[in-house]
Structure 1
Amino acid sequence: MVKEFQEKLIELKEYLKKLEYLKSAMALIQWDSVVNMPAKAIHYRSEILGYLSGESYNISTSNKIKEYVDFFSNKRDLDDITKGTIEKISKEYDRNKKIPKKDYTEYIIAGSISSAAWDEAKRKSDFKIFQPHLEKMVNYNQKFADYWGFKKNRYDALLDIYEPGITTEKLDEVFGNLRDAIVELLNKIKKSGNNPDIQFFNGNFPKDKQEKLAKRIIYKMGYDYKEAGRVDESTHPFTTSFGNKDVRITTNYDESDFRPALFSCIHEAGHGIYEQDISDNLQGTLLGEGASMGIHESQSRFYENIIGRNKNFWKFFYPDVVEQFPKFKDISLEDFYRGINYVEPSLIRTEADELTYSLHIIIRYEIEKALINGDISVEELPNVWNKKYKEYLGIEPKNDREGVLQDIHWSDGSFGYFPSYALGNLYGAQFLNKMKSDISNIYQEIAKGNLNVIHKWLKDNIHKYGCIYTPTELINKVTGEELSSKYFIQYLNEKFKKIYNIK
C-alpha cells in the first residue's frame, strides 16, 4: 500500500512537471513580448501562446488529473505538500473543465493582442484604440465567472483566482475601514502645514547611475539578479518567474526623477526574492508560487515602503545616493527621508505615496467590480475613472495616459487582481508586527545594512512554503491571528504623524 502510494506520488509529480514546463515557456514568451519583441510579431506570437495554453488546458483537464485527484483524495493523513497539491489541481480541474477549450484558447490569444493594443493606446494617449479589446476581455471574464458560478456577486468568482476566500462583502468592509482611516489622517496632514521640501528630487539623473544605485540596493536586499534573475526595461514594471532559478524583473527609468525607477526596482525585487526563495522540493507540485497575489504584494510593498522608506534603511544607503548624485551632498538625511515620504494626492498609482496608495486601489476595485457586474460599460470607463479621482483624491486626469490607460492589468483580463495591492499592505504590516517581536533589534540591524536578517525571517516564515498554505492559513501560521487592518492603520498613524509633527 505504501509502495503504491509512493509510486503514484512520483508519477503525479512527473505529470505535473509538464504543466510547469508549459507555464514557464508561456511566461518566457510573454516576458519577451514586453521586453524585446518587434511590433510586427504580435499576431504570430499570440498564436504560439494560444497553442501552448491549449496544451496546458488539455493536461489540466485530462482524465489523468481526475484519476490522481480521486486516488489521493481518498487517502488520510496526507502531508501538507501532497494535500496542497491535490487541493490545487482539483480546484483548477473543476475551474478549467467549466470553460470550453475554444473559449480558453481564444481568450489567451485575445489577451496577448489586447496587451499590445493597450501599449499603443497608452503611448498615443487614446483610449479608443484599446476600447474594443478591453470590451472583449470584460466579456470573456463575465462569461467565465458565470461558468464558474458564484453565491452573491459575479466579481467574487474572479477575486477567488487571486485571493482564495475573499469576497466583495469582505472587501467592502475592509476597504471601507481603511479608506476612512486614510482620509482622516490625510486631512490632518493637510491641516498641519508641515510639508517636506521635495524640489531637490527634480533634476538630471542619468539612467546608468540610477541603474547602478538600484542594483546595489536590490542585491543587498537579497534579490539575485546576477545568477538567478535579470533587470530589464518595460513600459510597466513587472516580475515574472520561470522557476526559482530564473526570476526576472523590469523597471522604467525617468531621467528627471530617480525615485520612480528606484522604488519600482525595490518593489519588484520584493516579488523576485519571494519567488527565488521558494523551496526546490516544490517542483512538480504546482505549489512553487506565491500563496496568493495579496501575499505576494505584501512582500513587494513591505520592501518598497515599510523597509525602503524607513529612515534606518537610508542611514545605510544614503551615501550611495550621494555618490551617484552629488547634488544630494548638501541635502540632509532627515530632509531626504521626509522627502521620500511626502504625502500628496497624485494621478499615477505606481508613483503614489504610501498613505494615499490604497485609495488608488479602492477606485480600481469599485470600477472593475461594476464592469464585471455590468453596472457600467467600457465606453463609460474614462469618465467614470476621472470622476472617481476627482471625488476620492481631489484631482482629475488631463488625458487617458495619466488616467484610465496607466495600468496594464485589464489588458490581459486580470480582473480581481487590483485588491491584492491593498491587501498586501495589510498583510505586510501584520508580518512586521510579528517580525519586530521576533527580532527586537531589527531597526538597528537595518541601519547597519544587515538586510539578511529580514530576508531570512521572510524566507523561513513565508517564502519557502510557496502556496502550500492558503492566505488564511499562512497569516494564522505566521502571526497566530486572522488578517486585521489595525496593524497597517497603526503603522501609518505612527509614521506620518511623526513626519508631519501631528499631535
Structure 2
Amino acid sequence: MKLFDLARERALINSTAATLGWDQETYLPDSAHPYRAAQLSWLTAKAHTLATSDEWKRALEEAEASDAGGDVTLTANLREMRRQFDRATKLPVELVARESEATSMGKHAWASARQASDFATFAPHLQTLLDIAREKADRWGYESEPYDVLLDTYERGSTAAKISALFEVLRPQLINIGKLAVANSEARGAKLPAGPYPIEAQMKFNATVAESLGFDFNAGRIDTTTHPFCTTLGPKDVRLTTRYDLEDFTSSLFGVMHEAGHGLYEQGLPEGDVGLPSGDSVSLGIHESQSRLWENHVGRSQAFWERWFPYAVECFPQLGALSLDDFLAAIRRAEKSFIRVEADEATYDLHILLRFGLERRMMSGELAVKDIPAAWNEAFEESFGMTPPDDRNGCLQDIHWSMGGLGYFSTYTLGNLNAAQLFAAATADPAVAAGLAKAEYKPLLGWLRKHVHAHGGTYDPAVLVEKATGAPPSADAHLSHLFARYCAAAI
C-alpha cells in the first residue's frame, strides 16, 4: 500500500533523528549542540513535509476509499493516520522546524541551568517553548482550553477536565497514604548501609537484572546520561540510559528497571508494522504502565529480592549487614523527597499532581515563566510540607519542559493506575503468579506481550486496558496496592 510505504519512509527519517537525539543526550561534545540542533531541525522538517504532502494526502484518501472495514488493524491504522494527518497539516513546516531547534537548544540550556541551579538562564528557552506550544494549540483548535490538545498528543481521548476530576479525588487519599507510609518508615528506621557502591558493580548488576526481565541486549544497550530515558532508534535498537549514585545503588537499579519496562514494550511491538500506528505505542499512560509495573510491582516485591539479594551482597558486600526484611524495608522506605525520579511509590503521584496543575496555569497564561520557581515552591509546600532549597531540587529537576513536553506529566500517574490494574489481572493467571513466586519473568512478559504490546496503537488506551483486564480503567487497584504495601502495617 502506497500510504504505508510513505509511512515507513517517514519512520526512517524519524529514527535517524532519534539516533542523533540519543547521541545528543549521551556523548555529543558540548560545543556541537548548535549544529546538532540544526541537523535535527532539518530532519524534523523533512518528516513533516513528507507527512503533509499532496502525495501523502492522495495515498491516504485512496486507502480510505478501499478499506472495507473488515480488518480491525487496517481500519485502526487508517483512522489514526487520518487523525495525525489532519493535525499535522495545521502546522506549517516552519513552526515544526522552529520547535525542533528550540527543543535541542532548550535541553542543552536546561542541563547547564540545572547544574548551576539557575532557573533564570533557562527561562528564555522555556518562554520560547511555551509560546510554540500555545501556537500549536491555537492552530489545532480546542473546545475548552489549550492544554487539552497538548494532553491528547500524549494520551488520546483525555482532557484536562477529566484528569483534573480524577486527581481531585485521588489527592486527599494520596496525601493520607503518604503520611501513613512516612510514619511507618520513620518508626522502622531501615536504611541502606553507606556507600560507596562502585559504578562498575552497579552496571554489572543492572544489566544482569534487565536481561533476566527479558530485555534483549542484542537489540538494545544501557548508557549514562543526566536524565534517564528510553528511546527507540529503530526495530531491534532500543536504548536505555541511567545515572549513578555512589551512595545508593538502588537509584540506578530501579531507574534501569523502569526504563527496561519501556524497552520491553518497544521490543514487543509488532516489528512488521514499523512506522504505522499499529506498530507504535498507544499512549504514554500505557507506556508508563509498563515501566512502573516492572520497577515497582516486580522490582520492590519480596519474591524478586529473595532471588536477587544474595547476588546484590556479592556485588556490594556492605549489604551483608542487613537481613532481607531490613533490606526490603529500606527499599520501600517512604519519605518526603524533592526529586520526583527518586520518590517512593507512596508519595510519587503527589509530584505529578503538582506539575499538572502548574502546566495548566502556564498554558492558560495565568502563570508567567518568571514566576514558576515561586509557584513551584508554594505548591510543593502545600503537598509535602517543605520547600525546595534551590531550583535544581525544584522546578529545574525534570527535562520535559526543555523538550517541549507540556501536557506530558499526568501520564505518569495514569501509568501507575494502569500498571496496578494490569498487574492484578496478569497475576490472576496461575502461570504468571507461579512464575513471579520463583522470580521467573517469562510468563509475565508473555502476558504483557499478548494483552498490551502486540496491539500497538490499534485501540485507544482505555479500550486496551478494559480488553486486557475486563474492567474500565480505575484507581482502585493502585490505591489498594499502595495501602497494602505501605500502610496496612508497619513495614
Q: Does the TM-score normalized on the shorter chain lie above 0.5?
A: yes
SS of residue paired to 1:41:
helix
Equivalent in the alignment of 1:281: 272
Could you tell me which of 453, 460, 463 is aligned with 1:473? Answer: 463
The amino acid that maps onto 1:199 is K
Q: Partners of 1:431 and 1:301 in 2: how far apart?
A: 11
Residues 1:125 and 2:90 aligned together? no
Partner of 1:64: 55
Equivalent position SS for 1:468? coil
Structure 1 position 329, deviation (Å):
1.5
Aligned to 2:216, which of 206, 211, 224?
A: 224
Q: Does 1:414 align with 2:405?
A: yes
- CA distance, structure 1, for counterparts of residue 144 and residue 236 of structure 2: 41
Amino acid at match of 2:475: S
RMSD: 1.5
The 5 A counterparts of 1:314-325 are 314-325=305-316
Matched residue SS, 2:247: coil
Amino acid in the other structure paired with 2:4? K
**Alignment partner of 1:115 is 2:107:** yes
- 2:57 maps to a residue whose letter is K
Q: Secondary structure at the match of 1:121?
A: helix
Q: Distance in 1 between matches of 2:429 and 2:411?
A: 26
TM-score, normalization by structure 1: 0.95
User: Which segments of 5 or more consecutive residues in structure 2 lack a partner in the other structure?
Assistant: none
Q: Deviations over 1:334-380 (max 9, x none)?
A: 11111111111110000000010000000010011110111101100
Deviation at 1:440, TM superposition (A): 6.2
What secondary structure, in the 3-state scheme, does the structure 2 residue paired with 1:93 have? Answer: helix
Q: Distance in 2 between matches of 1:37 and 1:190?
A: 41
2:230 pairs with 1:242: no
Name the counterpart of 1:85: 77
Superposition deviation, residue 499 in structure 1: 5.0
Q: Secondary structure at the match of 1:242?
A: strand
SS of match in other structure, 1:199: coil
Instruction: Trace 1:5-404 onto structure 2 (pairs within 5 A).
Output: 9=1, 11-74=2-65, 75-190=67-182, 192=184, 195-225=187-217, 227-404=218-395
Q: Which residue of 2 aligns with 1:463?
A: 453
SS of residue in 1 equivalent to 2:407: coil
Q: CA deviation at 1:197?
A: 3.0
Deviation at 1:92, TM superposition (A): 1.5
Letter paired with 2:480: Q
Residues 1:441 and 1:166: Cα distance change in structure 2 (over 3 Å):
closer
Displacement of 1:285 in angstroms is 2.2
Q: Quote how far apart the aligned CAs of 1:451 are.
A: 0.9
Shift of 1:417: 0.8
Please say if residues 20 and 286 of structure 1, whose CA atoms lie closer than 8 Å, have aligned partners that are also in contact.
no
Pick closer, same or farther for the CA change 1:106–1:203 going to 2, 3 Å: same
Check the 8 A contact 1:198/1:339 in 2, yes or no: yes
Deviates more, 1:152-161 or 1:170-179: 170-179
Identity, % of aligned positions: 35
- Is the Cα contact below 8 Å between 2:435 and 2:444 reproduced in 1? no
Partner of 1:430, secondary structure, is helix
What SS is found at the alignment partner of 1:249? strand
Letter aligned with residue 484 of structure 2: E
* Distance (whole Å) between structure 2 residues aligned to residue 27 and residue 206 of structure 1: 31
Q: Given that residues 279 and 466 in structure 1 are in contact (C-alpha distance below 8 angstroms), is that contact kept between their aligned partners in structure 2?
A: yes
Distance 1:350 1:72, change over 3 A: same
Deviations 1:396-424 (A, max 9, x none): 11111111110000001001111110000
State the AA in 1 paired with 2:89: K
Closer/same/farther in 2, CA of residues 125 and 193 from structure 1, 3 Å limit: closer
Q: Structure 2: how far apart are the matches of 1:273 and 1:239? A: 10
- Paired with 1:387 and 1:346, the residues of 2 have a C-alpha distance of 15
Deviation per CA, 1:209-228: give whole Å up to 9, x if none: 11111111110001112x10
CA distance in 1, matches of 2:184, 2:203: 36
Q: CA shift at 1:183, angstroms?
A: 1.3
- Partner-residue secondary structure (3-state), 2:457: coil
Say if 1:200 and 1:469 are closer, same or farther in 2 by CA, change over 3 A: same
Contact 1:195 1:342 in 2 (8 A): no
**How far off its partner does 1:190 sit?**
4.8
User: Which stretches in structure 1 are left out of the alignment for 5+ residues?
Assistant: 1-8
Distance 2:418 2:41 in 1: 35
Flag the 1:189–1:53 CA change in 2: closer, same or farther, 3 A: closer
Count, aligned residues: 490
SS in structure 2 of the partner of residue 241 of structure 1:
strand
Q: How far off its partner does 1:304 sit?
A: 0.5
Q: Could you list the per-position Cα deviations for residues 209-249 of structure 1 after superposition, in whole angstroms to 9, with x for gaps in the alignment?
A: 11111111110001112x10010000000000022300000
The answer to whether the 8 Å contact 1:240/1:249 transfers is: yes
- Aligned to 1:14, what secondary structure does the other structure show? helix
Tell whether 2:473 aligns with 1:483. yes
Find the aligned partners of 1:191 and 1:320 in 2 and give their Cα distance.
Answer: 31
SS of 2:231's equivalent in the other structure is strand
Alpha-carbon offset, residue 432 of structure 1: 1.4
CA contact (8 A) 1:179 1:359 kept: yes
Question: Is contact 2:182–2:333 with CA below 8 Å preserved after alignment?
Answer: no
Partner Cα distance (1:439, 1:124) in 2: 52
Q: CA deviation at 1:433?
A: 1.8
Q: State the distance in 2 between where 1:288 and 1:28 align.
A: 19
Return the alpha-carbon distance in structure 2 between the equivalents of residues 295 and 441 of structure 1. Answer: 20
The question of whether the paired residues in 1 share the 8 Å contact of 2:185 and 2:333 is answered with: no
Quote how far apart the aligned CAs of 1:103 are. Answer: 1.3
Once residues 201 and 272 of structure 1 are traced to their aligned partners in structure 2, the CA distance between those partners, rounded to angstroms, is 31
SS in 2 for 1:434: helix
